[in-house]
Structure 1
């Protein structure tokens, strides 16, 4: 079993029980105590849990950092990225939102030519600059430490200089009311990107279904949702 799979399973167990003993993890996952301790240490360092004597308890956080997001639901994000390719053509102008799901698309863009790609993600830039025959632009603005997203008024004003054929956006949750993010400043950037694009795509793996966060930044009718699994009818399927 991969370490990422163990992290997810441990978190699911703790979410169900609110706390868990080390021995329960060993028995449920059929792993050694040493491995279980290492996994708990990793999750504590990522501020997902708090170690207590003999086990751990869950910490509810507002938003996960980008390093952790890249480690979870990797297969689901890859499925989404491959589906997105059906909508991209050479020469298009593309907005790529910050986030690990939108970032999973980048490795598949090298076969395209003359794309103009604009992003508000500091973390996307390193991979985007490896693309051949394409132009890359990074928005200015305040950088959000947890996710590397450029946010706020400066980023919004930067966006007003561009027009896009396609915009690919992530969300922390989606339900029958629309798409959500916990950060008002990040919501402003998403809203402006939606205004600037002809076609909008919301990339959400199935774990985002029926979840909501502090700010709604888009309605279901504002674009097409792309996911790794069948989309429930009530949220646009």
Structure 2
């Protein structure tokens, strides 16, 4: 079993029970006590759980950091990324949001010619610069260290100067009221990126269906949802 799979299974167990003992993890996952301890140490370092004597309890965090996001739902993100690039054509200008799902698209952009890519994803600059076929523009503004996103009014003002053939955005949740995120400073950037795109695609794996976080940045009919699985009728663009 891959370590990422174990992390997800441990988190699911803790979510169900609210707290869990080390021996329960060993029995449920059929792993050694040493492996269980290492996994719990990793999850605690990522502030997903809190270690207590003999086990762990769940920590309710508003938003995971980018390093953790890259580790979870990897297969789902690959499916979404491959679907998303089908909408890109040579010579286009695209916006890539700072999310880990949009980041999964980057390695597939090498197949296109003369792309211009604008992003607020600080963590993805090095990956983008390795692609010799594109021009890369990064927004300036406040760096949100936890997620690697550049946010706030300064980023918004810069974003207003661009026009995109396609805007690709991630989301923390989607329900009947639209797409949402925990951070108000990120909302103003996401909302403007939606306005600047001729076409807009929201990239969202099935685990975020019917989740509602702090503030909405777009309505369902502002773009098309791309996911790793069939999209529930309640979440379709109508």
After TM superposition, the score normalised by the length of structure 1 is: 0.99
The equivalent residue for 1:194 is 194
The equivalent residue for 1:72 is 72
1:1-237 counterparts in 2 under 5 A?
A: 1-236=1-236
- Specify the SS of the correspondent of 2:207: helix
Deviation at 1:156, TM superposition (A): 0.3
Query: Following TM superposition, where does structure 1 have runs of at least 4 consecutive aligned residues deviating by more than 3 angstroms?
Result: none
Contact 1:76/1:228, CA 8 A, preserved across alignment: yes
- Specify the SS of the correspondent of 2:71: coil
- Specify the SS of the correspondent of 1:70: helix
Deviation at 1:176, TM superposition (A): 0.8
The number of equivalent residue pairs is 237
Tell me how far apart the structure 1 counterparts of residues 144 and 163 of structure 2 sit (CA, whole Å).
Answer: 24
Deviation at 1:133, TM superposition (A): 1.6
Unaligned runs of 5+ in 2: none
Once superposed, what is the RMSD of the aligned Cα atoms? Answer: 0.7
Deviations 1:68-88 (A, max 9, x none): 000000000000000012100
Tell me how far apart the structure 1 counterparts of residues 42 and 29 of structure 2 sit (CA, whole Å).
Answer: 16
Deviations 1:3-41 (A, max 9, x none): 000000000000010000000000000000000000000
Tell me how far apart the structure 2 counterparts of residues 160 and 177 of structure 1 sit (CA, whole Å).
Answer: 25
Deviation at 1:145, TM superposition (A): 1.1
After TM superposition, the score normalised by the length of structure 2 is: 0.99
Tell me how far apart the structure 2 counterparts of residues 61 and 84 of structure 1 sit (CA, whole Å).
Answer: 29
Deviations 1:207-237 (A, max 9, x none): 0001010010000000000000100000117
Tell me how far apart the structure 2 counterparts of residues 151 and 134 of structure 1 sit (CA, whole Å).
Answer: 23
Contact 1:113/1:132, CA 8 A, preserved across alignment: no
- Specify the SS of the correspondent of 1:87: coil
